[in-house]
Structure 1
Amino acid sequence: MTKEFFGTDGIRGLTNKHPMTAEVAMKVGQAAGRHFLRGDYRHRVVIGKDTRLSGYMMENALVAGFTSVGMDVVQVGPMPTPAVALLARSMRADLGVMISASHNPYQDNGIKLFGPDGFKLSDEDELKIESYLQEPARLAKAEDIGRARRFEDARGRYIHALKMALPEHVRLDGLKVVVDCANGAAYQVAPSAFWELGAEVITIGVDPNGRNINDQCGSTDVAALQASVVENQAHIGIALDGDADRLIVVDDKGRIVDGDQIMALIGTSWSRNGLLTGDGIVATVMSNLGLERYLSSQHLNLVRSKVGDRYVLEEMRKGGFNVGGEQSGHMILLDHGTTGDGTVAALQVMGELVETGKPASELLHLFDPVPQLLKNVRYSDGKPLEDAKVKSVIAEAEKELEGTGRLVIRASGTEPLIRVMAEGDNADQVSTVVDRICACVEEVAS
């Protein structure tokens, strides 16, 4: 059975268009509730969301679905995705649900599901829920309908967990931080955690209105953050995305620091302090060859996974690693959480700034990345990568880069995009290869 609803990161799409409708959301609640009704006790689901206008609609539909099959609901309001995973586990819930489309614009929304262990669901769980979506709902008896309540202490619990991610002796006194919360889920908790640890905090992207999430702010658009860091002479800039599971850093000179450099810092720091497990880190096929070379120079391994934080996590759990992530900024630190957490990763970086006394412009540029170019080609229908002409152009490019670089081409799991990435020691060659493939895909897609 193939998946109709679930992609690489839950269910996602344009709001009020299948599958991201209130009707489908209610059915997802009924199907997921049915799947997790196990045992003779009151079952519970924790539901959080980001700040999208459609979050209210999707939340109410999910509440209706879960309660209709006999599951109690705890609503925590706008909270980061990792906070929902943490609360689901700490509250002994059977299921956690995050309503978010992550870094996408406000018109999109999504549903992410976490099991009672706080980890995202397996393919088997998702396929079972999909099978239940094709069947009539098993509604509870009138006396067994679930209850819904709001949990007011959720922010405080998560802020406490964030602070515990740093050793007790580490404070952020004297550190000037600009944090951009993307007008998203972390707009209250991230600045509060940094301030409580002693940092001087300057905020942007903390005025959500339902429509401005990820709009010229956050980890996908750091221009405002760069300007603010330079203007305020801050030590560091922190950019989160809409659901705060992603982190991009801006150093004290206003330069962007991506996930590869952040992983290099955390991995080597943890290794030096005896905290790193697995003798290396896990990253995706998109991570720069420079990261792999740098880790090798530090006698550490780089294990590559498919693109998507769930696949990074699978490799981490399989190989016993506790640090992993993506170049785009997803950072999974299993000592502190079960899924990507941009705020926890930011605290690791700020802790290193304090402990080493080095400026971010020195601390966060541990290797020189090889020339790498990523371009996206949007398409409306079909499967361009299965076209014979596209396959031929890709094969030629792979032969051209053999021994000097890499080529990674894939369809996005969350948007109708073909992502074309090449890297190698020759920047002109990389650019030529990417442009040639993109032109071919565009021709076929049109």
Structure 2
Amino acid sequence: MPAKGLTYFGEFRAHWPNLLGATLGLALGAALNHYMTNLFAPPLIEEFGWERSRFALVGTLGLATMVFVPVAGRFTDRFGARIAASIGFTVVPLSFLLLSFMSGDIYEFFGITIFQHVFGVLTTTLVFSRVIVERFDRARGMALSVVMSGAPLVGAFVVPIVGVVVDAEGWRAGYRVLAAISAAGGVAAIALIGGRHKPDPSEPSPARPHARITRGELIAVLKNPAFILIIAGMFFCNLPQVIVSSQLKLVLMENGAPSQLATWMVSLYAISVVCGRFVSGLALDRVSPQLVAIVALGLPALGFLALASPIEAAWLLVGAVLLVGLAQGAEGDIGAYLTSRTFDMRHYSLIYSFLIASMGLATAVGAVVLSMTLSATERFDVFLVLAAAVTVIGALCFFFTGRGSRPDISPASTNATQAA
């Protein structure tokens, strides 16, 4: 549990190594694909002649992790973040290396991606947000935002670098560079996240972190209205993720942006995600998370509608990317924050795994819908309008977890929630 008596900034001074390690781990693991797939999509499609509608199905591959995700969550609760991350960072760099040897069959690409998804979940927020919520209390919202900002911040700098490599040396060299970056980041993250937390000796000894969750406790969690709304919010807010994770450059080029300009817009998107997350993290520590949700998560709808418009002006494309980026990803901060405040911390990773599974299902459903709309219209417009609508629905789901009121995070209320 977080040490008591530390000030807001004192928590950062005490736990900065863990914060840095978690940030590097989340940024340089499987999350790299969120930005890098955009760069590799055009050369892969051009060289191998893959159809865009079939390539869009890459988003459905997250379904392969749905059965494994709760197992990964329980594994992390039982054995800790360091062991879990060690396994994840063995597989992720290896999978990037395997991608560099592809022969051209799209199913080979799908197979390697599934392999990465299954074990790459051990390099996601499932593992690294636990490092934070165990150590931060007063500054939990900001600390979560710092960690989750690592991926877009790294993306902002790595996307242009890898883009240059892909343009100059080819996509195979690009994947090998990614493998080296991920491996180096994993070693640093694993070294920093473990063995630094020292609980306050004045606090009673907590229950063993690997204590068994009873059937009654699990049923209570699944029936909790807040849990259902958080799951729904994660699903609807992540349904459009297939656009920003693997299709954004293609969308921008369809709207008239040259390839090089579209690459820099992807980088701009990553920077705007970082800025938005810092703002939302600061807000989570000061105002109702439900209020943060309705404001922050409603903004991408405007960006998606702008991308769907027939106007091809560069200023509109930049504005749309900024709007989507400033709010995109805040649902992860809000979901992790509400989970840590509402449920038993001993089972945090297991409970959070259901949120991860909801995100994976949303991405898969979004990919299927995108593939269908592309096959029917050959354009992204229909999906972008749908993305705007479901984003608003997701924001409302998070808002109704507390009807706009700040959750009571006292021990008494937490116990009452667990017993509900």
Q: For this structure pair, what is the TM-score category when the shorter chain's length is used for normalisation?
A: under 0.3
Give the TM-score normalised by the residue count of structure 2.
0.28
**Higher-helix-fraction structure:** 2
Q: Which is greater in Rg?
A: 1
**Higher-strand-fraction structure:** 1
Q: Which of the pair has the greater relative contact order for Cα pairs under 8 Å at 6+ separation?
A: 2
